[in-house]
Amino acid sequence: IDDRVKDYIVDVVWATREPATYKLKLDGLIRYGASPRATIFLALAARAHAFLNGRGYVTPQDIKSIGADVLRHRVIVSYEAEAESITSEKIVEQIFAGLPVP
């Protein structure tokens, strides 16, 4: 995986823990973010997605395509988010929408 794509994976996972670092307006919505191990599994899933699409390299689109599946259960929403019917999947979507793509 290209270094820029690796950095993107790290940014996505770190944004679940520290969204303010990336100027994402998710204050108070995330109780627990994804652990650093999520970067490993996001990279592995992205490689598998690329392979299944006939490519030997990973693109940011591969990460976006499987990101919610990998991170959905790793992001725990706060009570405030639950009260507003905001799911972890919606939070992951907002993270992908708010981060610059390499």
At 49-99, the pLDDT tens digits run 999 999 999 999 999 999 999 999 999 999 999 999 999 999 999 999 999
Write down the CATH number for the domain with range 3-98: 1.10.8.80
In whole angstroms, what is the distance from residue 12 CA to residue 27 CA? Answer: 16
Indicate the domain borders of the chain. 3-98
Residue found under tokens 């929403």: 77
This prediction's pTM: 0.90
Coil, strand, or helix at residue 86? Answer: coil
* Residue 76 identity: I
